[in-house]
Chain A
Amino acid sequence: MKKLTGVARIWRVVILLIVGFYLLLPLFSMAEFSTRAGADGGRTLDSWAAIPTAPDLLASILVSVQLALLAVLGILVLLVPTMIWVHLRLPLMRRPLEVICMLPIAIPAIVLVVGIAPIYRWLSQFFGSSPLSLAFVYTILTFPYAYRAIDTSLRSVDVNTLAEAARTLGASWPKTIMGIIIPNIRNGILGACVISIALVLGEFTIASLLNYETMQVVINLLGKREGQISVAVSLAALIFAFVLLIAIPTSGKKQEVAQDGA
Chain B
Amino acid sequence: MTQAQIVETGSSQRGAGFRRIKRWLPYLGVVPFFVLVAVFFLWPTYLVVTQAFVADDGSFTLEYVKTVATEEVNLNAFRNSIQVSAVTAILGGVFGGLLAWAVANGRNHGVFRRATLAASGVFAQFGGVMLAFAFLATFGFNGLVTLFFADHFGDTILSNPTWLYGIWGLCVVYTFFQIPLMLIVFLPAVEGLRGEWREANDSLGGSTWRYWRHVGGPILLPSFLGAILLLFANAFSAYATAAALISQGSPIVPLQIRGALGSEVALGGAAFGKALALGMVLVVGVVMFGYVLLQRRVSRWEQ
Complex: A in contact with B (CB within 8 Å): yes
Task: List A residues 21-37 near B (Cβ within 8 Å).
Answer: 22-23, 25-30, 32-34
User: A23 touches which one: B101, B106, B180, B270 (CB < 8 A)?
Assistant: B180
Number of interface residues of B (CB under 8 A): 83
State A216–B51 Cα separation when bound (angstroms): 30
Q: Mark B260-282, 1 if CB is under 8 A from A, else 0.
A: 01000000001001100100110
- Give every chain A residue within 8 A of B134 (Cβ-Cβ): 26-27, 29-30, 231, 234-235, 238
Q: How far is the CA of A64 from the CA of B152 in the complex (A)?
A: 43
- Taking CB as reference atom, which chain B residue is nearest A32? B144
Q: How far is the CA of A139 from the CA of B100 in the complex (A)?
A: 30
CA distance A198 to B227 in the complex (A): 22
B235: min CB distance to chain A, Å: 10
A112 at the interface (CB under 8 A from B): yes
Q: Are B135 and A241 in contact (CB under 8 A)?
A: no
Contacts of A199 in B (CB 8 A): 125-126
Contact B273 A114 (CB under 8 A): yes
Chain A nearest CB from B106 CB (Å) reads 8
Within 8 A of B (CB), among A206-259: 208-209, 216, 219-220, 223-224, 227, 230-231, 234-235, 237-238, 241-242, 245-246, 248, 250
Pick out which of these stretches binds chain B: A49-57, A82-90, A159-167, A181-189. Answer: A82-90
Interface of A is mostly: helix
State the CA gap A112–B123 with chains docked (Å): 22
Q: How many CB-defined contacts (below 8 Å) exist between A and B?
A: 248
Q: Which residue of B lies closest to A7 (CB)?
A: B208
Q: How far is the CA of A105 from the CA of B132 in the complex (A)?
A: 22
Q: Any chain A CB within 8 A of the CB of B142?
A: yes
Cα A246 to Cα B115 with chains together (Å): 6
Nearest-Cβ distance from residue B82 to partner chain A, whole angstroms: 14
B293 contacts the other chain (CB 8 A): no
Nearest B residue to A140 via CB reads B41
List chain A residues, Cβ under 8 A from B131: 26
Contact with A along B200-243 (1 / 0, CB 8 A): 00000000100000000000000000000000010011011001
A72: Cβ under 8 A from any B Cβ: no
Does A139 contact B284, Cβ atoms closer than 8 Å? Answer: no
Residues of A contacting B273 in the complex (Cβ-Cβ under 8 angstroms): 114
Given contacts A140-B37, A230-B133, contact A108 B284 (CB under 8 A): yes
11 contacts between A and B (CB under 8 A): A8-B105, A15-B98, A25-B138, A29-B134, A103-B41, A108-B236, A114-B44, A216-B129, A216-B130, A245-B122, A246-B114
Seen from chain B, the residues whose Cβ lies within 8 Å of a Cβ on chain A are 26-27, 29-30, 32-34, 36-37, 39-41, 43-48, 51, 95, 98-99, 101-102, 105-106, 108-109, 114-115, 117-119, 121-123, 125-138, 142-145, 175-176, 179-180, 195, 198-199, 208, 233, 236-237, 239-240, 243-244, 247, 254, 257-258, 261, 270, 273-274, 277, 280-281, 284-285, 288
